[in-house]
Amino acid sequence: MAAPIRILLVEDDQEDAEYLTALLARADGVQFEIERTDRLSAALTAAPRTRPDVVLLDLTLPDAQGLKTVRRARLGFGSVPFLVLTGIHDETLGVEAVQEGAQDYLVKDKLETGLIVRAILYAIERRRASDEAATLRQREALQREFVANVSHELRTPLTAIKASLESLRRGGLSDPQARERFIDAIERQTEHLARLVEELLAVATLESEGLRANPKALELGTVIRQILDDFASKAAAAKVSLSAEGGFDSLKVWADPDHLAEILHNLTENAIKYNKPGGNVRISAQESDGVVEVTVSDTGAGIAEDEIPLLFTPFHRTRYATAKNISGTGLGLSITKRAVERNGGRLWFESDPGEGSHFHFTIPKAP
Ligand SMILES: Nc1ncnc2c1ncn2[C@@H]1O[C@H](COP(=O)(O)OP(=O)(O)O)[C@@H](O)[C@H]1O
Ligand SMILES: [Mg+2]
């Protein structure tokens, strides 16, 4: 049998509540679990916590009457659908309630089991469908924005390359100093383009539904040591000390090896790139609540408070990164976040502007 449908009944009249409960108990093939409160304020506090499937809301409560109840409910119940209960003499109120955001209305004196059950099931289904449509619209909007950003991001280095080539053609070739400058610029922009294409490919791979993560049991120590090796010379060139805190040698995680390498690669690269000479980067890991939590800490620029909410947005680069002319695409962290989530983990960070940042992610333990 399907899971019971959880109802939050907001009704102060004891008799009405009992009558409704009795009618619902007679339903065929559907089970209801009813929680009741007699105040709107109590319902608004309870709903976000208990997340009922549907709310049945009386419109004459001690702390809220009529359409005011509906307006407060629409804001307070968020995505939980609600039906209003009206008396026989105020059916128009029911219609107005629907216009204000209720999914439907039930007239108390005309209640009958089949009718209530149908209204409840429709309300839940309609809300689910409209939530799905909203998610889809949101995803389409994000995709359009992404494509527009991609075009812009590709065009910028291409324009710069074209300009340098033109300058070379118009005499730049004969002046050795100018020639070097233009060739350097072309090289830098070409590298940037190559990087962009590579990262866009990573985004596309992670987005495509067909390519599921391919997790295995991995020794975390081995993966981290590989990263330390890969970045040893980059860290030295940036005068940043790179180290790992011991204690994770016995930890085995359950992850896609390519994804885990990519995640650690991106976070370590950022921690070095946005650091200062003399700074350090530390990688540590520990087990907590049945998962492994890995942390990459740096003593770098940190992230200004107003930029924190934007950090995982594709192409977003902080003012610090652009002002300092540090090369990058702004795609690494959004790729990293997707990769972590694909492997059943979570990615977050804390930052002290001017002091440094700590990026954390969780990954399941190997069985
Ligand atoms: N450890 C860090 N310390 C400070 N800023 C960071 C750090 N990691 C990322 N950022 C900021 O977040 C932006 C996005 O990072 P990311 O997606 O990896 O792109 P990229 O490094 O290619 O610019 C960076 O441009 C930088 O401004
Ligand atoms: Mg990066």
Distance 360 CA to ligand 1 centre (A): 14
- 178: Cα separation from own chain's centroid: 47
Ligand 1 site residues, Cβ closer than 6 angstroms: 266, 270-271, 274, 298, 300-303, 311, 316-318, 321, 328-333, 357
What confidence score (pLDDT) does residue 306 get?
94
Say what percent of the chain tops pLDDT 70: 99
Q: Which residues have C-beta within 8 Å of that of residue 70, sequence separation ≥ 6?
A: 57, 59, 84, 96, 97, 100, 101, 102
Alpha carbons 118 and 214: distance in angstroms, whole number: 43
Distance 317 CA to ligand 1 centre (A): 6
Distance 277 CA to ligand 2 centre (A): 18
Answer yes or no: CATH 1.10.287.130 is held by domain 142-207: yes
Distance 325 CA to ligand 1 centre (A): 12
Q: Which residues have C-beta within 8 Å of that of residue 204, sequence separation ≥ 6?
A: none
Give start-end residues of each CATH 3.30.565.10 domain in the chain: 216-364
Give start-end residues of each CATH 1.10.287.130 domain in the chain: 142-207
Instruction: Give the tens place of pLDDT for each residue, 168-205.
Output: 998 877 888 889 999 999 999 999 999 999 999 988 88
pTM of the complete model: 0.70
Give the architecture (CATH level 2) of 216-364.
2-Layer Sandwich (3.30)
Instruction: Give the tens place of pLDDT for each residue, 81-115.
Output: 999 999 877 889 999 999 999 999 999 888 999 99
Protein residue with least CA distance to atom 13, ligand 1: 317
**SS3 of the chain: helix, strand, coil, percent, to 5:** 55, 20, 25
Q: 11-35: b or e for each residue (b if 16 or more CB lie within 10 Å)?
A: bbeeebbeebeebbeebeeeebebe
Q: Which residues have C-beta within 8 Å of that of residue 195, sequence separation ≥ 6?
A: 327, 329
Superfamily of domain 5-111 in CATH is Response regulator (3.40.50.2300)
Give start-end residues of each CATH 3.40.50.2300 domain in the chain: 5-111
Q: Which atom of ligand 1 is nearest to the CA of 335?
A: 17
Residue 67 contacts residue 19 (beta carbons within 8 Å): no
281 is written with which tokens? 């980067």
